[in-house]
Amino acid sequence: MICHWPQTKSVTGLPKGYLLRHLAEVDSTNEEARRMAAAHETIPTWIVADRQTAGRGRRGRAWQSQIGNLMTTLYLPIGFDAVKAGQLAFVAGLALERTVRNLIGATGATSLKWPNDVLIEGKKASGILLESAMRDNKIDWLAIGLGLNLAHHPDDTPYPATSLAAHMDTPPNNLAALKILATTFDEVFRQWRNGGFGPVLQAWRAVAHGLEGPIVARLENETFEGIFKDIDDKGALLLQLASGDVQTIDAGDVFFPE
């Protein structure tokens, strides 16, 4: 069952030009964005749910959706080419990292694990999932799903996890966190639209986790180990192998050996 509470509306505290759709319960906020696209809704909208019954992460993984955490999707009914749409994963990651840093107030405690996971003291606090649909060889709309562990975090994950509650006395509720995120995202999004991907990459590198250190990159059918040298101008990870060759990683899971 999908419960709308309240109906989509403009909200004080969100940047101009965005609506808010607050749901008490939904299967997934990205699925709600898909339904909005099917209904040809034309205004950028932040969708936030108090509870998800079928949240998902990258590669079809289930995303644990405990009440008290932030589960949100930005629905963008804007045409993009595929390359530019992919860059928005870095825009979203950078906005989320700045949001977390703003909330916990601990300089140097936050970082970004390639391509867009926010870490707090090396532990994962968020996830991002981009989904879209094509029309006439162009992305017709984009859903940027973001999950942030405010009050809870899972214990049975392949990568150590944490929540904001472990790093501050009273974490914000989902709507308060969303207002900060929406404002921060709009700032980075405008920078990207006006200045291109370069400034976003430069800011991303400044908070990159494990840069110039050893990493393991697990792809669907193979694993690479080496030194995290950089990310290229398309956002791919550059991994220097023991042979000295540089392997370009476009998609995969990254781990940092102890």
* pLDDT per residue as tens digits for the range 98-120: 999 999 987 789 999 998 899 99
| 170 shares a domain with 235 | no
Rounded to whole angstroms, the Cα distance separating 123 from 57 reads 17
Together in a domain, 28 and 102:
yes
- CATH code, 183: 3.30.930.10
Block residue for tokens 């989904």: 131
Give which of 222, 228, 226, 227 is closest to 252, Cα–Cα.
Answer: 222
Q: Write down which residue in 189, 206, 223 finishes a domain.
A: 206
pLDDT tens, residue by residue, 234-250: 899 999 999 999 999 99
Structure tokens at 190: 């405008």
pLDDT band at 73 (very low <50, low <70, confident <90, very high): very high
pLDDT, residue 2, reads: 40
Q: What is the pLDDT of residues 24-51, one digit of tens each?
A: 999 999 999 999 999 999 999 999 999 9
On whether the CB atoms of residues 225 and 216 are closer than 8 A, the answer is yes
* Calpha distance 40→77 (Å, rounded): 8
Query: Which position has the higher pLDDT, 154 or 192?
Result: 192
Across the range 247-258, mean pLDDT stands at 89
| 187, 223: one domain | no
Q: Are residues 167 and 241 in the same domain?
A: no
Q: Which structural domain, as residue segments, surrounds residue 228?
A: 214-255
Is the same domain home to 151 and 175? yes
Query: In the chain, how many domains are there?
Result: 2
Whether 176 and 11 have beta carbons less than 8 Å apart is answered as no
pLDDT of residue 4: 41
